[in-house]
Chains A and B, each alone.
Chain A
Amino acid sequence: MAASSTLPDDRGRFGRFGGRYVPESLIAPIEELEETYNKAVGDESFSEELSSLLREYAGRPTSLYYASRLTERLGGARIYLKREDLLHTGAHKINNCLGQALLARRMGKKRIIAETGAGQHGVASATVAALFGFECCVYMGEEDMRRQALNVFRMRLLGAQVIGVKAGSRTLKEAISEAMRDWVTNFEHTYYLLGSALGPHPYPLIVRDFQTVIGRETRAQFKEMEEGELPDALIACVGGGSNAIGLFHPFLSDENVRMIGVEAGGRGSNLGDHASRFEGGLPGVLHGTYSYVLQDDDGQIALTHSVSAGLDYASVGPEHAWLRESGRAEYVSCSDEEALEAVRLLSRLEGIIPALESAHAVAEAIKRAPKASGQTLVVNLSGRGDKDIGIYREKMPDLE
């Protein structure tokens, strides 16, 4: 399985997944991005500048925290939390945004556009735009603007324009479509800052590479805390899958480390009630990549539901599709309700209010830990819950 850490191939393929399925007009901008990225990777000054931004601006390294009270309560596996929620802007998204902002500057672009679901990527994009002096425009489904209103205001405060998207389910899928339309029209001066390990090659590669700092730190920190050992399992939520691939990738060659991705089980198993792409979807093409896609019998993309806007998407990053098919990682789902229970438990026991997305990973750890005595689990706490307080108030009336 060590070979999988060398993927994608030069056509952007992870096994049969990935690739570059875009209208011809987008080929030139994508090739420009690919060329810029390949040059940047080989340039020491690029990685040095990124490292210092991550350290001094974003607040890396984030801690790996042993959650003793949660561990004690569950009475099984020892649980560690990778604290991406402590980063500037409150989630792992800033790792990728700083990297891509450096690419945008290299390409001489003056304007960045982004899509956002939960608003965390939108906030991180607006943040780097402010930092680098770019004009910034964020596309967001109107339903997501409603449920993540706080983040909409944050983006505006940071100087970004937030454009509501009315089409379809008014969530992340439509926001990506609209961002792609803007990009194809304005790419000469506009950089598309894609927020997850999705889309046409080389985005899944670029986003993953900028997020693997999560896994590299985790690996070193865990070894230091546990006398050179590695964890038994890694758990992360998977919308597009950027926080998960960032945690998993540096462990791909460590055959004894299990990897568990957690999708949004939503409110039920019918199409339209969840975002469990692996259980309910089939391979197909959406937004430039070949991966698992929730779709109807006619190949129309299905609507999705999750209480968590960041996991509410009909497709999944192609590398996850490959990791699942090759058996290297496993994918499960947690329901809205389980995620909300996890929010309560983590808040009460550890004094950490997680984002709804990350709460799906915590929920999976809560399920597994009691049956895994003697093992160690690392959960990627990819974001903090401040943005979700409105939803928590609505869903937990007993606390009002």
Chain B
Amino acid sequence: MSRISKTFEQLNTGRSRGLVVYLTGGDPHPDRTVDFVLALEKGGADIVELGVPFSDPVADGPVIQCASERSLQAGTNLAGVLDILRRIRERSDIPLVIFSYLNPVLRYGFEKFTEDAATAGADGALLTDLNVDEAGAYMEQMEHRGLDPVFLIAPTTSLERIKTLSQSSRGFLYLVSRTGVTGEQKSISERAIPLVERVRSVSKLPLALGFGLSERKHMEEVAPHVDAAVVGSAVVRMIGDQGDEKSLPSRLTALCAELKAGLRLDTSTV
């Protein structure tokens, strides 16, 4: 069983939903990411998505675009992110999912990517612009190396496609709460919970909901419905604002603890 599946199994028996945290590898510098991830884990993150910076992140809003720029400025590339991942793995057992646009992976070589990612200790990969219809050969190579392919599902995804995406994913499904790019929102989209219910009706995989979730009250709102919540921009913004400050890891821990508290289930909802 993969680290991701094990984590969700443990969450199932516990009193809290999972917290999945995204951050861009190498932002603001490759030397800092390991400490950030350990700090996130300490605060209660259950799974970490490690982003590979890309020059043209079309699915991302300004916060993560800027993180990509900072990381590229610091000289980060895919090999660098895999090295960060290896260093995290030396010190932690937290499930790690690589998050990347397709082109850096194609340039690196897909087969070599799956091999090196697995060796470094990655558990899964989500390739933002790899449409599942184009993904057949890639998925085989990932599974061959024991990497869980994770796909996105949008509020506009048809039921038939949801089935295909569910069959093509391992570990968990990443549900996009609203159409649009990544970024914090004041409130959760009205389409989010119906989406969770629709996917639940055809899939047995754990469901993580993301895009626009950034505060404790969002966590509380979704906790009864999802297996995990994904927070990205709120964490990345903190890194962007305070990247040079020594106290940043402890603040990241505090942010995660606050978010995780919102995912706790009281007995009435278990």
Contact = CB atoms under 8 A, between A and B. Distances in A.
A168 B68 CA distance: 12
A298 B180 contact: no
Interface stretch (A91-99, A127-135, A176-184, A322-330): A176-184
Contact of A24 (B56, B104, B154): B154
A22 interface: yes
Nearest to B127: A21
A167 B58 CA distance: 12
A21 B180 contact: no
A202 to B, nearest CB: 14
B90 interface: no
A29 B156 contact: yes
Contact of B104 (A11, A20, A298): A298
A11 B133 contact: yes
Nearest to A24: B152
A297 to B, nearest CB: 7
A282 B176 CA distance: 32
B154 A285 contact: no
A28 B153 CA distance: 11
B58 A181 contact: yes
Nearest to A173: B56
B59 A300 contact: no
Nearest to B155: A25
B180 A184 contact: yes
Interface in A179-193: 180-181, 184-185, 187-188
A292 to B, nearest CB: 12
A299 B180 contact: no
Contact of A300 (B55, B58, B105, B152): B55
B103 interface: yes
A397 interface: no
B107 A297 contact: yes
A24 B131 contact: yes
Q: By CB atoms of chain B within 10 A, which of A181, A288, A295 has the most?
A: A181
Contacts of B176: 24-25
Given A25-B154, A168-B55, A284 B103 contact: yes
Contact of A298 (B77, B102, B129, B131): B77
Interface string A284-305: 1111100001010111110000
B131 A20 contact: yes
B130 A21 contact: yes
B134 A24 contact: no
Contacts of A173: 56
B133 A20 contact: yes
B59 A23 contact: yes
A180 B181 CA distance: 10
A298 B107 contact: yes
Query: Interface size bucket, B side?
Result: 35 or more
A28 B154 contact: yes
A399 B206 CA distance: 70
A19 interface: yes
A280 to B, nearest CB: 14
B94 to A, nearest CB: 26
Nearest to B130: A21
A63 to B, nearest CB: 40
B264 to A, nearest CB: 30
Contacts of A180: 58
Interface in A160-209: 167-168, 173-174, 177, 180-181, 184-185, 187-188
Contact of A177 (B58, B131, B153, B156): B58
Interface stretch (B17-25, B157-165, B236-244, B253-261): B157-165
Contacts of A184: 58-59, 179-181
B54 interface: yes
Contact of A28 (B65, B79, B156): B156
Contacts of A349: none
A23 B104 contact: no
B128 interface: yes
A187 B54 CA distance: 24
A172 to B, nearest CB: 12
A344 to B, nearest CB: 36
A7 interface: no
A167 B154 CA distance: 27
B61 interface: yes
Nearest to B157: A24
Contacts of A157: none
7 contacts: A23-B58, A23-B154, A24-B151, A24-B152, A174-B56, A188-B179, A299-B107
Given A177-B56, A298-B79, 10 more contacts: A21-B102, A25-B180, A27-B131, A177-B57, A181-B61, A184-B179, A188-B179, A293-B103, A299-B103, A300-B77
Closest 7 CB pairs of A and B: A299-B107, A28-B156, A299-B104, A298-B77, A185-B180, A25-B154, A24-B152
